[in-house]
Structure 1
Amino acid sequence: MIKGKAWIFGDDVDTDVIIPGKYLRTRDRHLWAEHVMEGIDPQFASRVGKGDIIVAGENFGSGSSREQAPLALKEAGVAAVVARSFARIFYRNAINVGLPLIEAQPVCQEGDLVEVDLQAGTVRVEDRVYQGTRLPDFLMAILKDGGLVAHRRRERGLD
């Protein structure tokens, strides 16, 4: 179960606003976290807390295939992303770096406490439960292990 404060974003949030390209000249994830969502909310990085949850509309993570976008969110402390739908490459990049996500349509306000149950594929806001799309078992295993690299290492007995 993942519990955190909701941050609300709309439709078509692309990777250029999640982490603007001018910050990609470095591999410093801390710098990415300091500027995450800057293209849509310049104050987000300074206000988001560890364990918070992004709740968004359709097509979250569209645009380029940069894996830095989910890495920046994760480094900033975002515990999960809930969206009506995700851009396909962002969806897989998030899984690969160990950032939990779920397709669902909860109704909530910024600051509401949101609970995400990846196993059940549900999102709870106060006393309302919204059924989302449950991740397949093989993707759940990757998330449980902390991302694709850690998962492959575990499978090979290297960890």
Structure 2
Amino acid sequence: MKEVELIQGRVFIFGDNIDTDQIYPGRYLELTEPEEVALHAMEGADPDFPSKVQPGDIIVGGKNFGCGSSREHAVITLLASGVRAVVAKSFARIFYRNAINRGLPAVEIPDLESNSVSPISQGSIATLDLKNGTFSLSNGKVYKFIPFPDNIMAIIKAGGIMPFYKAKATSQTPEKT
């Protein structure tokens, strides 16, 4: 199980309606190696993102983050680039589900401010507390959200739905005598 209840990282801010083509352009779908995939993370929204992102960073989005096609590659590329969580005003449902299924926390905070008058600064440090439902900024601003239910948190801690079910199957396998 991964320790993911407390995530601290630099913030990268993106606006409303960031679609899966902006997160990971379709022309790269044939790439399979995580190192290659990571080179194209957020390319459609910020071509320099892959050179700036570091393991543990957090993406902050506006409304409808992850809209567009249902490609799972969008989540895979964020994970490959080192992103530990995505916080947004709202998510496209299929992106949200893909994120959880891959073990990437996708936290919805409807009153999040991610525009030019936002208290969130690009590159500032933020702490996401999944257990207690807080997103704390280095300037003291704290946003509250409803924590994930236990079943969703278990999937995230396992690193995704496949590792979750593999571990569950292994732990429930009767011993042979």
Structure 2 length as normaliser, TM-score?
Answer: 0.86
Gapped runs of 5+ residues in structure 2? 1-5, 114-118, 173-177
Question: Are the aligned partners of 1:102 and 1:121 in contact in 2 as well (CA < 8 Å)?
Answer: no
Q: Which residue of 2 is the match for residue 140 of structure 1?
A: 153
Distance 2:108 2:81 in 1: 21
Structure 1 residue 118, shift from structure 2 partner = 0.8
Give the total of aligned pairs: 159
Gapped runs of 5+ residues in structure 1? none
User: What is the root-mean-square deviation of aligned Cα atoms in Å?
Assistant: 1.4
Question: Are the aligned partners of 1:34 and 1:45 in contact in 2 as well (CA < 8 Å)?
Answer: yes
Q: Of 126, 143, 148, which aligns to 1:114?
A: 126
Larger radius of gyration: 2
Q: Of 52, 66, 71, which aligns to 1:47?
A: 52
**Identity %, equivalent residues:** 48
Instruction: State how 1:68-147 maps to structure 2 within 5 Å.
Output: 68-104=73-109, 105=112, 107-126=119-138, 127-147=140-160
Q: Deviations over 1:31-51 (max 9, x none)?
A: 111011111111000111111
Name the amino acid aligned to 2:31. Answer: T
Q: Which residue of 2 is the match for residue 15 of structure 1?
A: 20
Structure 1 length as normaliser, TM-score?
Answer: 0.95
Distance 1:103 1:69 in 2: 18
Name the amino acid aligned to 2:98. Answer: N
Q: Deviations over 1:97-120 (max 9, x none)?
A: 111121121540101111001111
